[in-house]
């Protein structure tokens, strides 16, 4: 069992201080915050494996070790350096093995091959594994149980992931990745396959605005669900939604015509989200 003296709070860790979820974690009660940090640290670690570069077989082998360690933890309770901080949150909050494995599977999708204009079905699976699975782990810690938690994870996870995709088209392209679905590209008349050509195509703005509207709809559904949750339990996800919805609206206002100015969350906006959703 983790004692208060052993708790590593987010502000003490470089990785957490870079996280867009930093402020949202800080408003949680201490035990929940500690659990969220350790879940976040696991997810961040497997994400770093996917994005870290190097031979694909080496990164696949490392993800296999994470998957094996999770299997071992749930089967026998034995921990490794990769999972030792997860044993207590799993026991206390009933976190599911399938959600940890889904996160690993999502990162594996980025390693098997660089994602390049997937179909909508594949993109939705990626969003479920990379984001909604993290949401399913998180809602258990927040105290949003049952169908409400699953539904919130579905919609808010996809909203956050699609916002990231729309924000990071140039950054992802630098890694040889393009997450925009092929159906949306085709419907807009973009028939080239080269990523650099797609990113300067005049119809790219139309493609991204269509995805942005789908993302807005996920935020709308998330807000409706959170309104039915206990206010205290919904504080952190509401803050995440507020900050990322703000990024989405900035992207829509900016558009996706090349060249694109970078859009990030401002410290002032995060502070406003903390005041609005974390305190009142």
Q: In the prediction, which pLDDT does 264 show?
A: 73
Q: In the prediction, which pLDDT does 145 show?
A: 87
Cis peptide before 208 (omega within 30 of 0): no
Structural domains of the chain, with CATH: 4-279 (1.10.600.10)
Count of alpha carbons within 13 Å of 51, Cβ hemisphere only? 14
Q: What predicted TM-score, i.e. pTM, was given to this entire model?
A: 0.88
Dist. CA 60–CA 48, nearest whole Å: 12
Give pLDDT tens digits along the chain (280 positions): 333 323 333 344 434 334 456 677 878 899 999 999 999 999 999 999 999 888 999 999 999 999 999 999 999 999 999 999 999 999 999 999 999 999 999 999 999 988 999 999 999 999 999 999 999 999 999 999 899 999 999 999 999 999 999 999 999 999 999 999 999 999 999 999 999 999 999 999 999 999 999 999 999 999 999 999 999 999 999 988 998 999 999 999 999 999 999 987 655 544 544 445 544 4
Dist. CA 223–CA 236, nearest whole Å: 13
Dist. CA 249–CA 255, nearest whole Å: 10
Cβ-Cβ contacts under 8 Å for 10 (sequence gap 6 or more): 16, 17, 19, 22, 25, 26, 33, 37
Range 74-108 burial, b when 16+ CB lie within 10 A, else e: beeeeeeebbebbbebbebbebeeebbbbbbbbbb
Q: In the prediction, which pLDDT does 25 show?
A: 80
**The pair of three-digit structure tokens given for residue 85, joined into one six-digit string:** 């901080």
Dist. CA 20–CA 26, nearest whole Å: 12
Task: Tell me the CA distances in angstroms from 148 to 152, 216, 229, 242, one per residue in order.
Answer: 6, 19, 8, 19
CB 139 within 8 A of CB 149: yes
């Amino acid at each position: 069992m983790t004692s208060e003296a052993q708790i590593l709070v987010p502000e003490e860790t470089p990785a957490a201080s870079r996280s867009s979820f930093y402020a949202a974690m800080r408003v949680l009660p201490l035990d929940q915050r500690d659990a969220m940090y350790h879940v976040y640290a696991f997810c961040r670690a497997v994400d770093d494996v996917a994005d870290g570069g190097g031979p694909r077989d080496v990164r696949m082998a490392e993800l296999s070790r994470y998957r094996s360690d999770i299997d071992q933890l749930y089967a026998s309770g034995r921990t490794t350096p990769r999972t030792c901080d997860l044993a207590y949150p799993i026991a206390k909050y009933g976190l599911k093995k399938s959600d940890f494995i889904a996160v690993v599977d999502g990162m594996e999708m980025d390693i098997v091959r660089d994602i390049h204009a997937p179909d909508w079905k594949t993109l939705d699976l990626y969003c479920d594994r990379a984001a909604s699975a993290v949401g399913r782990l998180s809602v258990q810690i927040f105290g949003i149980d049952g169908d409400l938690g699953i539904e919130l994870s579905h919609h808010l996870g996809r909203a956050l992931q699609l916002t990231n995709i729309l924000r990071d088209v140039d950054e992802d392209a630098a890694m040889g990745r393009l997450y925009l679905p092929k159906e949306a590209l085709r419907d807009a008349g973009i028939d080239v396959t080269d990523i650099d050509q797609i990113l300067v195509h005049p119809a790219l703005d139309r493609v991204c605005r269509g995805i942005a509207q789908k993302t807005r709809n996920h935020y709308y559904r998330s807000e409706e669900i959170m309104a039915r949750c206990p206010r205290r339990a919904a504080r952190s996800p509401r803050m995440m939604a507020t900050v990322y919805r703000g990024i989405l609206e900035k992207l829509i206002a900016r558009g996706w015509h090349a060249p694109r100015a970078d859009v990030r969350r401002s410290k002032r906006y995060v502070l406003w989200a903390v005041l609005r959703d974390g305190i009142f």
